[in-house]
Each structure stands twice: as C-alpha cells, then as structure tokens.
Copies of this chain bind each other. A is one copy, B any other.
Amino acid sequence: MKQVRIKDIAQKANVSIGTVDRVLHNRGEVAPKTREKVLSIAKEMNYQPNIVAQALTTRKTYRISVLIPRGGNDNIYWLSHPKGIEKAVKELHPFLVEIDYCLFELHNEADFLKRTEDILNNLPDGVILAPILKKEAIQFCKKLDSQKIPYIFIDTFIDQTNCVSFIGEDAFQGGRVAASLIDYGLPAEKDILIVNLAKDLENTQHLNRRNQGFLSYFLDSGKNTGMKITVEIPVTEQSVVDQKLDSIFQQNANIGAILVSSAKTHVIARYVEKRDLKTILVGYEVTKKNVEYLKKGIIHFLIGQKPMEQSEKAVKRLFEFLTTHSISLEHEFQPVEIINTETITMF
C-alpha cells in the first residue's frame, strides 16, 4: 500500500493542496464544508504525514522541556536522566530536538514552582516531568493542558491528568527481586530487617510498593522462614540511625540480612561497616555512595531501574507523539536490574 500524500487528498476533494494543509493543521480560513470533506477523506485514506518531507521544509526544532530534580554526586539517579535524554536526542538525529533542562531542588516546592513558570513562559512543544510533588504537579499539568502542551511523566505516576504516557519503575517487582536475592544467600531460619529510611517528604509511595513486593515474595515463593522486622527511621543522621539500629540488634541476635527500601542504603552500609556485621545488605539505586559500599563488599546487591533508559524512552515517545500525534503504548514499567560488584564495572 503506497503512501498517501496531501496531493492525493487534494485531488479527491477537488481542492488545492494548500487547503488540505490548512485543514490538517487547523490553520483556519477554511469553509466548514470543505474542512469536513477534507478531514473525512484524509481519514478514509488513512493519511500519515511524511515526516521526512515535513522536517525538510519546516526545519523545525522540537523544543522539549525537562522538569526533574537536580542530580548530584550523591544523586546519580537524577544525574543519569540527562544522559539518557542526550542519547535519545542523538538517536533522533537528523531530526532536531532541543532540550531545555529545568532542574529543581528536590523537595523544594518554591523552586519547583519557579521552574514551572519558566516552562510556561517558554512554551515548549512538549514537557517531560517527574511529578514528585503531587499537588504542584497537578496544577502545572492543568496549565499545560490549557496551553495544549503535551507531557509525559517519568519516575512517578499521578492520576487526574492528561499525560500522554508514563515511564517508570516497577517498584513492586523491584521489591520481589530484592527479596529473592536475600532469600538465595540467607540461611532459611535467619531473620530479615527491613529499614525504611526516608525523610518525610520523600516519595514514600515507591518505598511502600517495594516493601509490599518484598513481603509478597516470602508469602508465595521464599524459603526463608525467619521473622521480617520492619523499622522506620525518618531521618538520615548517622548518629540517630546508629542508635536506633543498635537497639534493634540488641533485641535481635538472629538478623542475617538487611533490606533498605530507599536509595539511602549507604547510611546503613556505614553502620554495618562500623559494627563489623556479617549481615547481607541489599538496597536500591546506583548512587555513588552506594556503589562505594558495593565495591567494599558491604552492600551485596543494588536494585536498579535503569534511569538512563527511562528518560531515553520518554524523549522518543514524546517525539513520536509530537510528530505523529499517536502513541503506541501508554504506560510502561522499566525492567528491574540486578547490580553487584561484577556488573558495576562500567562505573
């Protein structure tokens, strides 16, 4: 089946190609009747614009704003996203896409709002955002809706918006993977300590899902029969953490493994190192500090969610949407990755 061109539509509708172009792009100045006719014919012939020709004539640069937390040495997770974005941009060549990074300080609402203002002033063709601050994100999405700017979520999903697509972590499955790794290495009768180490504001939804997955594994497949002890530590100050853990280990001599449900795994690793414990330690996220302890052999496994690929996909999806106005798949979970000393060599 040959490609349908606007010329073909024009012929069939007895109008000029200029007119067809006008209705296809909603540029107005077309009689309602003509409009209807062209539209129905285009649909009937299943017209798909030739984006090569489009690119050649418009020489359009697609402008995408990316609203994510600022990465840093201790936040490699968000530092990797720009890398994935650059990769996508490169692969999209020779089509031109320009990325405007709007990085906000994690948990700083004011900063987040300021960045959203920047985007609204900038009026990009599309937005990729991590809607970590739920309330603010919803507000922002409404404004994008009214400007007809499409947006894709990464990392976190929230309802009540018209997001084109979501790409993120399968936190539940991540929990199961962590569980399976501990279960494999730990004698069946040993106890497991689950540490939830997160400040108030952190995205606790992910952590909950991870823990649910973790526990579900032992309900349906694990061989471990030990206790699963959960502890919440809402601060990451080492001294507080140490104290808390000390008291737990005093009451419980049978703990053989620790799971940390957040990226702060290194804080617990530090404790394990200081107390010279022989426990298994599994956590999340490939951050610099975590990797340090992974290499020392104190953290045994890290569960990763391939942040680079996450944002790479997001850019490609958004581009696809911008050029074709259709999207193959709405939501997608990233596969879970198991990382240990030997697979980390690339760092």
CB within 8 Å of B: which residues of A?
Answer: 50-53, 55-56, 91, 94-95, 173, 176-177, 179-181, 184-185, 217, 221, 300, 316, 335-343, 345-346
Chain B residues whose CB sits within 8 angstroms of the CB of A91 once the complex forms: 91, 316
Give the distance in Å from the alpha carbon of A53 to the alpha carbon of B94 in the complex.
10
Chain B CB count within 10 A is highest, among A180, A338, A340, for A338
The residue on B at minimum CB distance from A328 is: B90
- The residue in A95, A173, A343 that gathers the most chain B C-beta atoms within 10 A of its C-beta is A343
- Report the separation of the CA atoms of residues A338 and B180 in the bound assembly, to the nearest whole angstrom: 13
Asked whether A53 lies within 8 Å of B56 as measured between CB atoms, the reply is yes
Please measure, in the bound complex, the distance between the C-alpha atom of A339 and the C-alpha atom of B343, giving whole angstroms. Answer: 12
With A53-B56, A91-B316 in contact, do A173 and B335 touch (Cβ < 8 Å)?
A: no
Give the residues in chain B near A338, CB-CB below 8 Å.
338-340, 343
Pick the 4 closest A-B CB pairs, nearest first. A338-B338, A177-B342, A180-B342, A176-B342
Once the chains are docked, how many angstroms separate the CA of A221 from the CA of B173? Answer: 30
Question: With A335-B343, A342-B217, A343-B338 in contact, is A51–B177 under 8 Å at CB?
Answer: no
The residue from B55, B173, B221 contacting A52, defined by CB atoms under 8 A apart: B55
A50 contacts which chain B residues (CB < 8 A)? Answer: 56, 94
- A95 CB contacts on chain B under 8 angstroms: 52
Jot down 13 A-B pairs with beta carbons below 8 A, ordered by A: A52-B52, A52-B55, A52-B56, A176-B342, A177-B340, A177-B342, A177-B343, A180-B342, A181-B340, A184-B300, A335-B343, A336-B343, A338-B340
Bound form: Cα–Cα A185–B173 in Å? 21
Please determine whether B52 and A184 come into contact, CB atoms closer than 8 angstroms: no
Rounded to whole Å, the gap between the CB of A340 and the closest CB of chain B is: 6
Say which residue of B335, B337, B339, B343 sits within 8 Å of A346 (CB atoms).
B335
* Residue of B whose beta carbon sits closest to that of A48: B94
Contact between chains at B180 and A341 (CB < 8 Å): yes
Q: In the complex, what residues of B have CB within 8 A of residue A346's CB?
A: 335
CA–CA, A217 to B339, complex, Å?
16
Q: How far is the CB of A56 from chain B (nearest CB, A)?
A: 5
Q: A176 — which chain B residues lie within 8 A by C-beta? A: 342
Which B residues are CB-close (under 8 A) to A56?
50, 52-53, 56
> In the docked arrangement, what's the CA distance between A316 and B93, Å?
12
In the bound assembly, the distance between CA atoms of A346 and B335 in angstroms comes to 9
Chain B nearest CB from A144 CB (Å) reads 27
Across the interface, which residues of B come within 8 angstroms of A181, CB to CB? Answer: 340
Q: What residues of B have a CB within 8 angstroms of the CB of A345 in the complex?
A: 173
> How long is the Cα–Cα vector from A61 to B2 in the complex, in angstroms?
14
In the complex, A121 Cα to B95 Cα: how many Å?
35
Cβ B55 vs Cβ A173 within 8 A: no
How far is the CB of A157 from the nearest CB of chain B, in Å? 19
Q: Which residues of B contact A335 (CB under 8 A)?
A: 343, 346
